[in-house]
Amino acid sequence: MSNTASTSSAVNPANNRRIDYIEMPATDVKATKQFYIDAFGWKFTDYGPDYTSFEDGRLAGGFTKATSVPKGGALIVIYATDLADAEKRVRAAGGKIMKPVFSFPGGRRFHFTDPSGNELAVWSE
């Protein structure tokens, strides 16, 4: 997550279990970034050549380097104040953990699929 995402959601109960960050694959991060700057005026923060984070004025997200962009490739990331509890709830509701909890700059997260196979993630500080 970007510093913006973690700052805007940091220990804010109003954000609990709400979509907080959208992450999408990009075969050309630089060109993708420029497209969204030109088309929509989004602001970006680069985290090396393979990742850039955006703010659109309402929601934050990022583009990560990928060799291809599969159909339905966006990763929806939900914020939780208690990551362990969120994982427990996902499992109890029938979700399948695809990537166990791991750390990244800004926090920790895990990925899961819902019963239809959609992959989402949950993150926390």
**Residue 73 pLDDT more than 90?**
no
In this structure, what token pair is assigned to residue 11? 């220990």
Tens of pLDDT, residues 105-116: 899 999 999 988
- 2 contacts 106 by C-beta, under 8 angstroms: yes
Spans of all domains in the chain: 3-124
Average pLDDT over residues 42-57: 94
**Non-local CB neighbours of 85 within 8 Å, separated by 6+ positions:** none
CA–CA dist 97, 77 (Å, integer):
14
Tens of pLDDT, residues 24-45: 999 999 999 999 998 888 999 9
85 or 71: whose pLDDT is higher? 85
- 123 contacts 78 by C-beta, under 8 angstroms: yes
CA–CA dist 33, 56 (Å, integer):
12
Name the percent of the chain in helix, strand, coil, to the closest 5. Answer: 25, 40, 35
The CATH homologous superfamily for domain 3-124 is 2,3-Dihydroxybiphenyl 1,2-Dioxygenase, domain 1 (3.10.180.10)
Quick one: 42 exposed, middle or buried, by C-beta within 10 A (0-12, 13-18, 19+)? middle
